[in-house]
Amino acid sequence: MYNMSKDSEKKLVGQPIFKQLVDFLPKNKFDLLVQKHGSDKYYKTFSSWKHLVSLLFGILSRCDSMGEICDGMLALQGKLSYFGFENSPAKSTAGDGLRGRSNELFKDYYFDLLNHFSSTLSVSRIKDVSFEKLYIFDSTTIRLFSDIMKGVGRNPLGDGKKKGGLKVHMMIDAHSDSAKFVTISEAKMHDKNFLNHLILSVGSMIVFDKAYNHYLQFAQWTQGQINFVCRLKSNAIYQVEELICEHSLKDGESGVIKVEHIHMSYNENKQAKKLCLRKVTYRDEKERVFEFITNNFTISAQEVALLYKKRWNIELLFKKLKQNFQLHYFYSETENGIKTQVWCTLIAHLLLQVLKALSKTKKAFSTIAALVRIHLISHLEIYWILNNCRRTYVKTKKEIIKFDAIQQAFF
């Protein structure tokens, strides 16, 4: 039986796991952005790099406040020299940095990291999908216990106070599960306002939910030879031009029910125009009926349903962000500080994705995040942790015979 307590069997290294993880970051790219933004101009002791490292420490260890981060780093004085720290940052200094240092620095660094790690995160294409460039677009709402950024929903009755909130709008590459477009807005901002910010190449396919129905944008994509698939809104008005095919499904059977050629009306420059689309009605394994629309008339109706099913990938990504990182408590009550924390959370998520890819582990993302959090300051080799924890206990033949004897005695 494997004994994890034996030091001789542990792979110890000279640097803590947190330092091994931070070493994935290309600091030279960060330094160039610091010069571009001039983000160290008014800070003598709390540099931009120290700011990033401090927030990553708090995010990965799930600290609830800036005070917890500073107190936690205070107990690591002997190990802070690995990161270029002479001592732990003061809470007031770190708070000033969150308020004053522009979140654009961390935003730009996140996108630089996406390009830097693109080859590491690239994976094989999704089976049965004919599009090499397949993107999924959606947003997730994060509620705030303040009204700095306006939330969504109705105002509460009585003296209740409406919570603030922000939205993270994201487009991911479905083949690699990596972000290609990210922006942060107030939660009250309608999702469809961000469709025209997406940069899509000819022949690409984008999938999104029905909340983004914007017929003028659909027409512009069609003219630019950009494909899309989304759900049809229940109150959508359209005209059926042709019934392309129809199928009768047996009870409990899933598949395409019918395919139609439809026209939808939209206005452009105060002129009424028609948009030709394909409507696919599909019933899934749970006997739920969905109506999809697409501007692609060549792929099969089954692939249309499959493409929309892949939209669930971005929901899983949002779930990973909310479950494995501290997005319930924010380290600042300013809009700039809140956005900075969100960008640094995305950087932390990207680092763990890179770690998962490089280690080639089959462990769940939540397991990797938990192991890193528990062993953050341990001097264990980071890949050893992922590949050697949770050893499988194999019962010997002698133990199985003994267990059978106990069963016979009781039953």
Beta strands in 187-251 (DSSP E): 205-208, 227-231, 239-246
pLDDT at 395: 44
Q: Are 196 and 217 in contact (CB under 8 A)?
A: yes
Residue 5: pLDDT over 50:
no
297 exposure class (CB count in 10 Å sphere: 0-12, 13-18, 19+): exposed
Strands of 134-144's sheet in order across: 178-186, 164-173, 134-144, 205-208, 227-231, 289-294, 271-283, 255-268, 239-246
pLDDT at 2: 39
Mean pLDDT of 376-403: 66
Residue 28: pLDDT over 90:
yes
pLDDT at 225: 95
Residue 383: pLDDT over 80:
yes
> Residue 121, Cβ neighbours under 10 Å: how many?
17
Residue 327: pLDDT over 90:
no
72 or 150: whose pLDDT is higher? 72
In a 3-state reduction of DSSP, which class is residue 198? coil
pLDDT at 84: 73
Could you tell me what percent of the chain has a pLDDT over 90? 45
133 exposure class (CB count in 10 Å sphere: 0-12, 13-18, 19+): middle
pLDDT at 23: 93
Residue 408: pLDDT over 70:
no
72 or 48: whose pLDDT is higher? 48
- pTM of the entire predicted model: 0.81
pLDDT at 390: 60
Q: How far apart are the first and last CA of the chain?
A: 30
Query: Could you read off the pLDDT of 203-245 as tens digits, one per residue?
Result: 999 999 886 778 888 999 999 999 999 999 988 899 999 999 9
> Residue 271, Cβ neighbours under 10 Å: how many?
7
**DSSP single-letter state for residue 380:** B
CA atoms within 13 A on the CB side of 31: 3
> Residue 48, Cβ neighbours under 10 Å: how many?
23
- Helices marked H in 153-232 — which ranges? 215-223
CA 250 to chain CA centroid, nearest Å: 38
pLDDT at 211: 66
* One-letter amino acid of 67: G
- Structural domain boundaries of the chain? 7-110+332-388
Mean pLDDT of 186-201: 81
191 or 204: whose pLDDT is higher? 204
In a 3-state reduction of DSSP, which class is residue 168? strand
pLDDT at 149: 54
Query: Could you read off the pLDDT of 279-324 as tens digits, one per residue?
Result: 999 999 888 999 999 999 999 999 999 999 999 999 998 998 889 9
Contacts of 207 (CB under 8 A, 6+ apart): 134, 135, 136, 137, 174, 228, 229, 230, 307, 308, 310, 311
